[in-house]
Amino acid sequence: MNKIETVKIPRHVAIIMDGNGRWAQSRGLPRAMGHRKGVEAVREAVRVAGDTGVGFLTLFAFSSENWTRPETEVNDLMGLLKAFIRRDLAELHGENVRIRIIGARDNLRGDILPLLIEAEETTKANTGLTLVIAFNYGARDEIARAARKLAEQVAAGVLRPDQIDAVALDAQLDTQGIPDPDLVIRTSGEERLSNFLLWQAAYAELLFVPEYWPDFTRDVFYRALAVYAGRERRYGGIAAAAVTG
Ligand code: FPP
């Protein structure tokens, strides 16, 4: 691991945690067991991010589309998130982890929102890893909400339409103050972004790994970091070798 530590660690890794259900089904277990194992993988991913010097780790925990799942599964996922915050908040705080939650808040159940706010408030002065939990999150919804805020400012006369540019819109997103992801990983072999950080991932490296999320071990994370370290990022420019030689 020392080799990776001295090479190129992404500042921000964002993960689409996919495959909990298939992990369970392939073992003849109920889907809920897959989500439960998924929480263990979340804990390990947070530890690896902290150990390797990743500054920001964003995890897609619940999408705005996940409400269409059967009610029992939605309840399972809500229960796991609540239990995670209740059980792990003190430890994360002790490890200097700062928690941020992104996603829509207006239609959240009353028992969830206070916990999310407590997690952010308790850890807001921490200076270690920032753990960003995308909850009730959808990128198109996030961008639409940002556009609405800008429109409200125009209507209030505090912003002119010609002042609206990418920087102004970016500042209204839920991720305000969080750098764009350098690496977006999706587990389970699916190769889609599924409405995750569509604006912020404009220049991110994308990596699709075959492992189901519960099998996203320390080694799999290390391998993903090694792949990232070997990629050359050009941001729409040309290869460095072409400039110098
Ligand atoms: C995808 O698996 C995973 C999810 C929809 C939720 C991820 C949630 C957790 C790991 C637990 C709670 C999160 C935190 C941060 C404590 P899937 O059900 O879509 O799997 P499938 O595609 O195989 O059906």
Active site residue 66: yes
Query: pLDDT tens-digit profile of 148-194?
Result: 999 999 999 999 999 999 999 999 999 999 999 999 999 999 999 99
Atom of ligand 1 nearest to the CA of 41: 10
For the record, the structure tokens of 223 come out as: 């391998």
Over residues 9-46, the pLDDT tens digits come to 999 999 999 999 999 999 999 999 999 999 999 999 99
In sequence order, the 6+-apart residues with CB closer than 8 A to the CB of 18 are 186, 187, 188, 190, 212, 213
CATH of 12-138+179-232, one of 3.40.50.970, 3.40.1180.10, 3.40.50.12280, 3.40.50.2300: 3.40.1180.10
With cut-offs at 50, 70 and 90, classify the pLDDT of residue 109. Answer: confident
pLDDT higher than threshold 90 for residue 233: no
Amino acid at 3: K
Q: How far is the CA of 209 from the centre of ligand 1 (A)?
A: 15
Q: How far is the CA of 16 from the centre of ligand 1 (A)?
A: 9
Span from the CA of 43 to the centroid of ligand 1 (angstroms):
14
Residues 18/213, Cβ–Cβ less than 8 Å:
yes
This prediction has a pTM of 0.94
The DSSP 8-state label assigned to residue 101 in this structure reads E
- Average pLDDT rounded to a whole number, residues 204-208: 98
Q: Whose CA is nearest to atom 16 of ligand 1?
A: 81
Q: Residues 197-217: what's their mean pLDDT?
A: 98
| Position 1 confidence tier, pLDDT thresholds 50, 70, 90 | low
Cβ-contact 204, 181 below 8 angstroms: yes
Q: For 107-134, what is the mean pLDDT? A: 95
Given this model, what pLDDT does residue 108 score?
86
pLDDT in tens, 53-83: 999 999 999 999 999 999 999 999 999 999 9
Q: Name the β-bridge partners of 101.
A: 133
Nearest CA to ligand 1 atom 22: 19
Which of 17, 59, 87 most suits a substitution to test ligand 1, by most atoms within 8 Å of the C-beta? 17
- Site to probe by mutation for ligand 1, drawn from 35, 73, 89, 133 as the one with most ligand atoms within 8 Å of Cβ, is 35
**CB-based pocket (< 6 A), ligand 1:** 17-22, 35, 38-39, 42, 59, 61, 66, 77, 80-81, 84, 133, 213
Where are the chain's structural domains?
12-138+179-232
In 95-189, where does DSSP find H-type helix?
113-123, 139-155, 166-170
- The span from the CA of 100 to the CA of 130, in Å, is 7
Residue nearest to atom 5 of ligand 1 (CA): 62
Cα 36 to averaged position of ligand 1 atoms, centre (Å): 9
pLDDT over 80 (residue 5): no
Tell me which of 66, 170, 180, 215 is the catalytic residue.
Answer: 66
